[in-house]
Amino acid sequence: MPQINDLTVVIADRHPLIRNVIKEIVQHAGYNVVAEAANGTALLELQQNAAVPLVFIINTKLPDTDDLDICLTLRQHYPGCKILAFSFSPNPYTEALLQRYDLDAYIHEFNVPNQLTDALQQLSTS
């Protein structure tokens, strides 16, 4: 599908299959995936190689990170970026996560296709 906008996306999840599924959803919705990472270290190393991402899609259980503290680091490196976190299990503390880690959105991974495209559309216009 052709790009419908200039929103650039980075996907971070330890499982290549999950990254590929998310990438397909994101690209099918018309957004540009500029990089992928399997862990926190790889995600931080991307800043040297990738186009400046506008949205990070990050698994809440990313290897070699302390919870979602990596989000705070990303905010320092990419001021103005949007961070969308996702998880396999619903979190009763979603609002606290959003505030503590300065997240723009949180979605439950089992509902990724619909929630992801809705969240990306909202983030691209905010």
Q: In this predicted structure, what is the pLDDT of residue 16?
A: 97
DSSP string, 57-122: EEETT-TTSSTTHHHHHHHHHSTT-EEEEEESS--TTHHHHHHHTT-SEEEEGGGHHHHHHHHHHH
Q: What is the pLDDT of residue 111?
A: 63
User: How high is the pLDDT of residue 54?
Assistant: 83
- Looking at residue 1, its pLDDT comes to 39
Q: Average of pLDDT values for 6-18?
A: 92
Q: How far apart are CA 101 and CA 13, in angstroms?
A: 17
Range name among 56-60, 69-73, 107-111 with the lowest pLDDT average: 107-111
CATH of 8-125, one of 3.30.70.2860, 3.40.50.970, 3.40.50.2300, 3.40.190.80: 3.40.50.2300
57 φ, ψ (degrees, to nearest 5):
-110, 110
The whole-number average pLDDT for the span 59-68 is 85
Q: What is the pLDDT of residue 79?
A: 85
Residue 11 has pLDDT above 90, yes or no: yes
- Quickly tell me which residue has 């099918």 as its tokens: 28
pLDDT digits over 23-42, tens only? 999 999 899 999 999 999 99
